[in-house]
Amino acid sequence: MKKCIITLGILFMLVGTTYGKTVSEDCGCGLGRVAIGEKEGLGWNLLGTFLNGLCGNQTFGMSSGTLECGETTKFAINERINTFVAGNMDSLAMDIASGGGESLSALAEIAQVDPALREPLASELQASFDAIYPDADVSYTHVANALREVFARI
């Protein structure tokens, strides 16, 4: 009798008559989404969740942009901004102070700023120069963080 109840319970979960979300909709990215995808049912969702967490593959997928986890663009953009600012502090300071220039254009390109917003961005950066470069010994991390604050306002 126990086997019959357990079998019916498992069958009920796999059929998904009362649970309509697919693994792709409900479990996020990872191995479960890739392997199971569009199957519906609580059992499939539990299996998809288990597979997503298995051996940290969901974490790997999010950090690498694989396993249907999408791009890691924000992280990559922030790292590119940090690298660019660290190597171009002086020329960036001059361009921000003057409201335009090659390094400022390159920064806008790296930050993927919409071309229509680049002129207002240059004006906003110029107006915020004292907050971005408060003194001559400012660190590149302060400059990069201050730049991101201005990007968020645009």
Query: pTM of the prediction?
Result: 0.55
The separation between CA 49 and the C-alpha centre of its own chain, rounded to angstroms, equals 21
The encoded tokens of residue 18 equal 């009362």
Q: Do 85 and 144 form a contact (C-beta atoms < 8 A)?
A: yes
Low-confidence ranges of the chain (pLDDT < 70): 4, 8-20, 23-24, 26-27, 55, 58-59, 62-65, 70-75
Of the candidates 35, 36, 38, 45, which has an alpha carbon nearest to the alpha carbon of residue 14?
45
Cα separation, 80 vs 146, in Å, equals 15
The encoded tokens of residue 68 equal 């249907």
pLDDT at 12: 60
The separation between CA 27 and the C-alpha centre of its own chain, rounded to angstroms, equals 18
pLDDT at 73: 58
